[in-house]
């Protein structure tokens, strides 16, 4: 039987270029698939930061990574924009990239069973396959999967730019590209792809609703039988306290008391009281409303007057920088606000914290809770998207569960969940059992990769 052939098309891939979680996923999933016998390959633009690479490189054992070159489009400092905003020619850039993905397949004589596209930057690939390349025998058996990592970012452009894509004007229509008078690349990708996936089962259901669909819920509802949710995994080769070289002391579930050596070291480094018994609450986040900063900042003063330590790492909206620095000055003895990612490694916060906050308004998947589990840090999170799929509410009576959650997007609901976590923390034997349980959870890419293989086979059957 021939190997399943999958080509991942992405605007960013770890370790070559990254602005968010998309890069981590496309840098990990093909490697996991390769280990399961899939002929997985990757294609991405060649950015300025990758000048040392040729036209092809690889990840994993032998996953080929094809690089699309165009100096005018990709030889720039940043991937999508600069301090003034998005690049004005982003439509030109990624229309070119999408065409080149298909041309590169022909050049390499690689006939993928599936082209796995991610987000609006690659949404034109399913379109081109069903228009310009519709009758090309080379792609006769090629199908497409379009993955939505965050539906809020859709690739919107002016109607006047439509000719840049090389498509018939008839496609600027409510059933294809047209979206309130603009071009919407994600909408077209959803319409033309053979199937649509997103990064958790709950988010796949949420985006079918008006609350979470960002205007595309109707398009997705019309295709609901071909919309799937598969949970992201994490790379335990990277996120693993047993091998993490950034830690003062490595640890695993068998010697997790070493976690607290890391906690004391971080307390000392950040100028906090060195006391292993004080619960440390950590958060690593983009400082934006979507991540729950609006409700967190309303109760932060209440949190900081408790007997806790609070450590934050993140950057984002200016208003939150100002507000958090003000809070840090008012509670300097138990608060460390780090607004630059080079100040303290994220790994140290995961390893040292007892509780990890993820108060997101919405969260397609979320990797923070999976990472915190591995480091023996208990999440407090809103029940949405992938957070709902991965965190089981802790029941003090039975001792079952893996974290603490809240439903309503309100400051008082978040505060109640934090207080519940702190209450359980006081019962140290129960807390230790909880820590050991979450460290043994498995959110590896191997689990997710098996589901993707099943989905690929369903699409091409």
Please indicate, yes or no, if residue 187 is contained in any of the structural domains.
yes
The SS3 call for residue 127 is helix
Beta bridge partners of 178: 183
Domain limits at 344?
A: 253-439
Answer yes or no: is pLDDT of 1 > 90: no
Judge if 220 and 282 occupy the same domain: no
pLDDT on residue 52: 75
- Measured between alpha carbons, how far is residue 438 from residues 57, 380, 394 in Å? 36, 13, 11
Answer yes or no: is pLDDT of 63 > 80: yes
The SS3 call for residue 45 is strand
pLDDT on residue 84: 87
- Determine the distance from the C-alpha atom of residue 33 to the mean position of all C-alpha atoms in its chain, rounded to a whole number: 19
Mean pLDDT, the chain, rounded, equals: 95
CA torsion angle 202 208 212 217 (round to 10) = 160
Q: How many domains does the chain have?
A: 2
Judge if 371 and 421 occupy the same domain: yes
Judge if 372 and 422 occupy the same domain: yes
> pLDDT tens, 387-422?
999 999 999 999 999 999 999 999 999 999 999 999
> pLDDT tens, 256-268?
999 999 999 999 9
Confidence grade of residue 19 (pLDDT, cut at 50, 70, 90)? confident
Judge if 52 and 121 occupy the same domain: yes
Contact between 317 and 286 under an 8 Å Cβ cutoff? The reply is: no
Contact between 129 and 167 under an 8 Å Cβ cutoff? The reply is: no
Reading the block at residue 224, the tokens are 């609901």
Judge if 344 and 228 occupy the same domain: no
Answer yes or no: is pLDDT of 231 > 90: yes
In the block, tokens 């991965």 appear at: 390
Judge if 370 and 322 occupy the same domain: yes
Beta bridge partners of 58: 64
Spatial separation of the C-alpha atoms in residues 202 and 222, rounded to whole Å: 18
Contact between 48 and 80 under an 8 Å Cβ cutoff? The reply is: no
Radius of gyration of the chain (CA): 23
Answer yes or no: is pLDDT of 461 > 90: no
Answer yes or no: is pLDDT of 346 > 80: yes
pLDDT on residue 341: 65
Span 353-364, average pLDDT: 97
Please indicate, yes or no, if residue 435 is contained in any of the structural domains.
yes
Judge if 226 and 263 occupy the same domain: no
Please indicate, yes or no, if residue 240 is contained in any of the structural domains.
no
Contact between 394 and 388 under an 8 Å Cβ cutoff? The reply is: no
Judge if 324 and 203 occupy the same domain: no
CATH of the domain at 373: 3.40.50.2000
Spatial separation of the C-alpha atoms in residues 232 and 21, rounded to whole Å: 10
Number of helical H runs and strand E runs in the chain: 17, 19
> pLDDT tens, 26-55?
999 999 999 999 999 999 999 998 877 777
Span 381-385, average pLDDT: 97
Please indicate, yes or no, if residue 246 is contained in any of the structural domains.
no
Spatial separation of the C-alpha atoms in residues 2 and 38, rounded to whole Å: 10
pLDDT on residue 55: 78
- Measured between alpha carbons, how far is residue 51 from residues 43, 76, 96, 135, 458 in Å? 16, 11, 20, 36, 39
Answer yes or no: is pLDDT of 295 > 70: yes
Answer yes or no: is pLDDT of 163 > 90: yes
Beta bridge partners of 357: 380
The SS3 call for residue 368 is helix
Judge if 212 and 321 occupy the same domain: no
Contact between 314 and 285 under an 8 Å Cβ cutoff? The reply is: yes
Fill in the DSSP letter of residue 132: T
Spatial separation of the C-alpha atoms in residues 199 and 271, rounded to whole Å: 38
Phi, psi dihedral angles at 61 (to 5 degrees): -75, -50
Judge if 449 and 411 occupy the same domain: no
Q: What is the SS3 string spanning 81-122?
A: EECCEECCCHHHHHHHHHHHHHHHHHHHCCCCCEEEEECHHH
Q: What is the SS3 string spanning 342-353?
A: CCCCHHHHHHHC
Judge if 435 and 454 occupy the same domain: no
Please indicate, yes or no, if residue 244 is contained in any of the structural domains.
no
Answer yes or no: is pLDDT of 342 > 80: no
Please indicate, yes or no, if residue 12 is contained in any of the structural domains.
yes
Judge if 29 and 153 occupy the same domain: yes
Task: Provide the percentage of residues in the chain whose pLDDT is more than 90.
Answer: 93
Residue bearing the bigger pLDDT, 166 or 82: 166
Range from 194-203, 288-297, 338-347 carrying the lowest mean pLDDT: 338-347
Spatial separation of the C-alpha atoms in residues 339 and 44, rounded to whole Å: 31
Answer yes or no: is pLDDT of 458 > 80: yes
Fill in the DSSP letter of residue 316: B
Confidence grade of residue 20 (pLDDT, cut at 50, 70, 90)? confident
Please indicate, yes or no, if residue 453 is contained in any of the structural domains.
yes
Whether this model's pTM surpasses 0.75: yes
Please indicate, yes or no, if residue 248 is contained in any of the structural domains.
no
**How wide is the angle at C-alpha 161 spanned by C-alphas 159 and 163, nearest 5°?**
105
């Amino acid at each position: 039987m021939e190997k399943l052939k999958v080509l991942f098309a992405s605007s960013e891939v770890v370790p070559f270029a990254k602005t968010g979680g998309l890069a981590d996923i496309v840098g990990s999933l093909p490697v996991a698939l390769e280990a399961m016998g899939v002929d997985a390959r990757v294609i991405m633009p060649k950015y300025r930061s990758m000048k040392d690479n040729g036209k092809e490189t690889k990840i994993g054992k032998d996953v080929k990574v094809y690089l699309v070159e165009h100096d005018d489009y990709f030889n720039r400092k940043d991937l999508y924009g600069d301090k003034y905003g998005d690049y004005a020619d982003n439509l030109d850039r990624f229309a070119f990239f999408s065409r080149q993905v298909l041309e590169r397949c022909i050049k390499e004589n690689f006939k993928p069973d599936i082209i796995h596209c991610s987000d609006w930057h690659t949404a034109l690939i399913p379109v081109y396959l069903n228009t310009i390349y519709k009758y090309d025998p080379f792609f006769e058996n090629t199908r497409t999967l379009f993955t939505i990592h965050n539906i809020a970012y859709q690739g919107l452009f002016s109607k006047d730019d439509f000719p840049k894509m090389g498509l018939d004007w008839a496609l600027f229509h409510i059933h294809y590209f047209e979206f309130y008078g603009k071009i919407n690349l994600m909408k077209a990708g959803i319409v033309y792809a053979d199937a649509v996936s997103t990064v958790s089962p709950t988010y796949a259901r949420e985006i079918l609703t008006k609350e979470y669909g960002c205007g595309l819920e109707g398009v997705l509802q019309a295709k609901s039988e071909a919309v799937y949710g598969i949970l992201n995994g994490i790379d335990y080769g990277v996120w693993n306290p047993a091998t993490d070289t950034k830690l003062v002391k490595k640890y695993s579930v068998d010697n997790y008391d070493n976690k607290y050596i890391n906690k004391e070291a971080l307390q000392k480094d950040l100028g906090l009281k060195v006391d292993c018994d004080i619960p440390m609450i950590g958060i690593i986040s983009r400082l934006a409303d979507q991540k729950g900063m609006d409700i967190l900042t309303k109760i932060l003063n209440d949190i900081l007057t408790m007997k806790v330590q609070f450590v934050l790492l993140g950057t984002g909206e200016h208003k939150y920088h100002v507000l958090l620095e003000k809070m840090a000055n008012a509670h300097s003895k138990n608060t460390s606000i780090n607004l630059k990612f080079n100040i303290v490694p994220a790994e140290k916060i995961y390893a040292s914290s007892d509780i990890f906050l993820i108060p997101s308004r919405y969260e397609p998947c979320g990797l923070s809770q999976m990472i915190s589990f591995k480091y023996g840090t208990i999440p407090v999170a809103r029940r949405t998207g992938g957070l709902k799929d991965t965190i089981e509410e802790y029941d003090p009576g039975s001792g079952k569960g893996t974290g603490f959650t809240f439903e309503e997007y309100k400051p008082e609901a978040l505060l109640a969940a934090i207080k519940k976590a702190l209450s359980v923390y006081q019962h140290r034997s129960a807390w230790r059992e909880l820590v050991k349980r979450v460290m043994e959870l498995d959110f590896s890419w191997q689990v997710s990769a098996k589901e993707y293989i099943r989905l690929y086979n369903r699409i091409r059957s």
